[in-house]
Chains A and B, each alone.
Chain A
Amino acid sequence: MELREEMASLAPELPTTESGKDSIEYLSRGKLIQRRFWRHRLARLGLPVLLLLYLMAILADFIAPYPADQRLKGFKDAPPSTVHFGVGENRFQPYVYARKRSFHPKTFREVYTEEEDQKFPIHFFVRGEPYEILGLFKLDLHLFGVDEKANVTLFGTDSVSRDLFSRTVIAARVSLFVGLGGVAISFVLGCLIGGISGYLGGIIDEITQRIIDLLIAIPTLPLWMVLSAAIPREWPVAHTYFAITIVLSIVGWTGLARVVRGKLLSLRDLDFVVASRLAGGSDLYIITRHLLPNFASHLIVTLTLAIPGMILGETALSFIGIGMQEPGVSWGVLLQDTMNFGALVHQPWKLIPGVFIIVTILMFNFVGDGLRDAADPYSL
């Protein structure tokens, strides 16, 4: 009932709310897709947040005040620094107090107290530890920092006194790009193999489907584990990272191939496909021009669901200690510190990298959902 009303209410609106040139009849497919996408409120939130996250990952070394492996001596399990505002004349100048460590008399846990007579202003664009950008330039400029006598730990420190904020920002690089890489590989493989299988049919289809069945049948996590366990421990971080991306996509492409093939099976004998074939369209042409656009929406849902799946996969692998290895950092590696949930009661800030994971996955899903609606712009 509601649907009918909705359609009825939408239809007369179009000519009145838009000037003639902008109405649905005159817009190109691309424009329509854009318009549909931006109408999705959650997607409108998701895209900028994702862009910010990726920007943060790219500029990680600049944003992080400390290198990922630097230990702030004497600041084990320290809580996040409290940032105060107002030094002298400048009311907006942020500063932190120096902190002093003592031990709780009964539990022997670290207790940190602020020394209110020692103010350390937070300076912006300061010189600090040098780092490399893309392996080309050496820079030592950091977004912010304090004098060496104090420290600023926005997310607290971990169990070996490293700044959790710096580590979270730097870990974003691995965690965010592993999904993109993995999905890119899976996408190409899935569409190609699934497309060929569904379109050609016959014995080729049979063999491909059985291979996919075999791969899907092996439980994912153990398969990932075995494959990552086979990655040599002594490999440099970059190699391990690349290997994990490939491990993740070995399983990833199969689901996509099945979707593509299933849809092709129900499409390939429809009139417009037969017509195109009779008109001399090549197989590849028909697959890419007629068949793929026809189920783009389903493909996109599967694909956007696959990116977060891979980010979560990397997180899980690193969490149990066979994904990224120290000194490499990813959000999963950082979450290893939360295994001991008893300590979490006293150090809840160690869950902050988890918040980043949740936000990232959430935003990917928002964007994916917006894309789903946009991929089919002619529907109401």
Chain B
Amino acid sequence: MLHIIVRRIFILIPMLVLLSMISFIIIQLPPGDYLSSYVMRLESQGLVVDEAEIQRLEQRYGLGQPLTTQYFRWMRNFIVNGDLGRSFGSYGSSYDNKPVSDIIMERLPATMIISIVSTIVVWAIAIPIGIYSATHQYSLMDYLSIFIGFIGLAIPNFLFAIIIMWIVFAQTGHAVTGLFSLEFRHAPWSFAKVIDMLKNVWVPVLVLATAGTAGLIRVMRANLLDELNKQYVVTARAKGLSERRLLWKYPVRIAFNPIFSTIGWLLPAMVGGEALVSIILNLQTIGPVLLTAVLRQDMYLAGSIIMILSTLTLIGTLISDIALVWLDPRIRYD
């Protein structure tokens, strides 16, 4: 067991290096770079950009050098100083020239709150319903949970967010935007601020959790149904094991397998999933910054966020693989 973990960690290192390269290169895939589209935007507004200004910007952003030089400089600064570079200001002027790590730290709390609350809600709802649906196949509750789950799965997140905002706005005239009401937006943390957050956080949580719940109910139900039809269940039942013990001892545990094998992707997937919702609901999370940075080729900002998310996913995959071996003794990596 131990040598598997050690070996996987050794493999992880070259993969992380590879990931940092991919994160850096894919930002450069679209034609042009930040500077050229920036200059083009200025020119389309009728402004004249002189050569010296372009040179100055090039100098400041470290552009104009070959890609490999840029990459190594970025990596060296990161490893030696923990410096991920600075934003080009793609996401509003307040982020212009701001260190990437500061931007991420600023936006991490809201991202974590939404992700964690949504995940807890998803698990708390989906797992019991999934187990119930599988053991009561084709019952009224089964159909009902399938139907509600399906609807949650069928509405695109961003559309769901728009619809909720529209309904709330049409009913109350109140526009749900952001995690906090205006008076709390810049206030320090306090009890009142937490209460205020709870008033607003339900919208993104509802949107994100609905999709997740629907998917998880399906997976849980399908896995458990597969298990319940197996011989060992029949044998155990024939030997007179109580239904409850029969269900929890093995089938449920095995049905968890595929869920565990994706547990490591929860946070990174959330950041990808919440991005569009956050743009519409105007939330101060990482998602919207990432999307704008990718679109505008704000390369250190976008590259760093993608690298961090991918790294988290890789480590998560490793953890869930180990959890899987521990959970299901039939799986062996040798």
Contact = CB atoms under 8 A, between A and B. Distances in A.
A376 to B, nearest CB: 7
A361 B135 contact: no
A301 B216 CA distance: 12
Interface stretch (B92-100, B184-192, B302-310): B302-310
Interface stretch (B75-83, B120-128, B265-273): B265-273
Interface in A1-51: 1-4, 6, 41-42
B219 to A, nearest CB: 8
A225 B294 contact: yes
A214 interface: yes
A227 B306 contact: no
Contacts of A366: 150
A217 B170 contact: no
B166 A219 contact: no
A301 B218 contact: yes
Contacts of B272: 219-222
Contact of A219 (B143, B151, B310, B331): B310
Interface in A242-284: 258-259, 262, 265-266
Interface centre among A218, A335, A351 (most CB of B within 10 A): A218
Interface residues of B, number: 68
Contacts of A342: 169
B314 interface: yes
Interface in A189-238: 206, 210, 213-214, 216-223, 225-227, 229-230, 232
A174 B302 CA distance: 30
A354 B271 CA distance: 24
Contacts of B170: 345
Interface in A335-351: 335, 338-339, 341-342, 344-345, 348, 351
Contact of B156 (A6, A315, A380): A315
B30 interface: yes
Contacts of B219: 301
B291 A320 contact: yes
Contacts, number: 170
Interface centre among A210, A213, A341, A362 (most CB of B within 10 A): A341
Given A229-B30, A230-B30, A210 B163 contact: no
B215 interface: yes
A362 B162 contact: no
A249 B170 CA distance: 39
Contacts of B280: 339, 341
Interface centre among B143, B310, B331 (most CB of A within 10 A): B310
Contact of B268 (A219, A225, A258, A380): A219
Contacts of A322: 295
A319 interface: yes
Interface string B23-45: 10011011100000000000000
Given A214-B18, A221-B272, A226 B29 contact: yes
A105 B153 CA distance: 43
Given A214-B18, A266-B330, A345-B170, A358 B155 contact: yes
Interface string B140-159: 00010011001101111011
Given A210-B11, A301-B218, A366-B150, A216 B265 contact: yes
Contacts of A358: 151, 154-155, 159
25 contacts: A6-B137, A214-B18, A216-B313, A217-B268, A217-B309, A217-B317, A218-B309, A220-B272, A221-B275, A222-B290, A223-B26, A226-B26, A232-B31, A259-B258, A266-B330, A315-B156, A322-B295, A341-B165, A341-B280, A345-B170, A348-B166, A354-B159, A358-B151, A360-B154, A362-B151
Going nearest first, the 4 A-B pairs with the smallest beta carbon separation are A361-B154, A217-B313, A229-B30, A217-B310
Interface of A: 1-4, 6, 41-42, 206, 210, 213-214, 216-223, 225-227, 229-230, 232, 258-259, 262, 265-266, 297-298, 301, 305, 308, 312, 315-316, 319-320, 322, 335, 338-339, 341-342, 344-345, 348, 351, 354, 357-362, 365-366, 369, 372, 376, 379-380
